[in-house]
Structure 1
Amino acid sequence: FQSGYLFIQTDKTIYTPGSTVLYRIFTVDNNLLPVGKTVVILIETPDGIPVKRDILSSNNQHGILPLSWNIPELVNMGQWKIRAFYEHAPKQIFSAEFEVKEYVLPSFEVRVEPTETFYYIDDPNGLEVSIIAKFLYGKNVDG
């Protein structure tokens, strides 16, 4: 017996410690129509330890539960899980994963630009490109 489905959507797939996970849960019936039911939501560490538990109703929400969770500054890195199930059907668990890791945004970008707007495969001159590297603040990268 299928009681419906839960779709969990996060705003990103990778987060850094101290950032906020924005997520929403769509509660739908077997015909994928919005349904108002009570949902149990867990956020679990990479080790499977629940760190947050909510019991919410999607009544008067048009089947959408918009939620957020602030990741602590000191946190285990790795694949975290959001698990959810209908309160009356705890064995049907739906989940989504997101990664928590330290990462640094790149300090420069590289662009490859062709000298011509189009290229013929049999052109005897070949394909010429310019490779341009610039720091994010606009100055050219040497080298």
Structure 2
Amino acid sequence: MVEKVVLVSLQSGYLFIQTDKTIYTPGSTVLYRIFTVDHKLLPVGRTIVVSIETPDGIPIKRDTLSSQNQFGIVPLSWNIPELVNMGQWKIRAQYENSPQQVFSAEFEVKEYAAPTPALTLVLPSFEVLVEPAEKFYYIDDPNGLEVSITAR
């Protein structure tokens, strides 16, 4: 009897999700792309399921797409509504034939807060040198105290 060991891998590949920014404002557009690669990190053309979830974990958008280009890249975008929950949103993706393996990326939605202007003065350093005209000063001197002031 000949026995042969066959390794079976459930790993169908990887999905890398990349957004153009990490923080967005309501009404802006999230540009993102998904890289579809196999277990050797080579581009692969497979069907993927992509969803966008609210900070509460509620899926609000779901698409089934195929990466049929030679680079295995799926470019996508999503317009954030004006009235939207603030917080950490999530893009989730998985291969259609491997729903147990989910890949995700997060982005934050928050109102734009203009920075408060602050005035900071940075003055150059300098040295002030005060030199008396005489080595000694007499209180009753009618000429007073004469000094030379130099700033460098």
**TM-score strictly above 0.5:** yes
RMSD, matched Cα: 2.1
Aligned residue number for residue 75 of structure 2: 66
Q: What is the percentage of aligned positions where both structures have the same residue? A: 74
- Unpaired runs of 5+ residues, structure 1, are 117-124, 126-143
Are 1:77 and 2:77 an aligned pair? no
Aligned pair in 2 of structure 1 residues 40, 110: CA closer, same or farther (>3 Å)? farther
TM-score scaled to structure 1, two decimals? Answer: 0.74
* Structure number having the greater strand percentage: 1
C-alpha deviation, 1:70, in angstroms: 0.2
The structure 1 segments of at least 4 consecutive aligned residues displaced by more than 6 Å after TM superposition are 109-114
Contact 2:34 2:74 in 1 (8 A): yes
Number of aligned pairs?
A: 117
Deviations 1:85-109 (A, max 9, x none): 0000001000000011112232547
Aligned residue number for residue 42 of structure 1: 51
Aligned residue number for residue 94 of structure 1: 103
Moved more, 75-84 or 106-115: 106-115
- Unpaired runs of 5+ residues, structure 2, are 1-9, 128-152
Aligned residue number for residue 27 of structure 2: 18
Alignment-mate amino acid for residue 29 of structure 1: D
TM-score scaled to structure 2, two decimals? Answer: 0.70
Structure having the higher Rg? 2
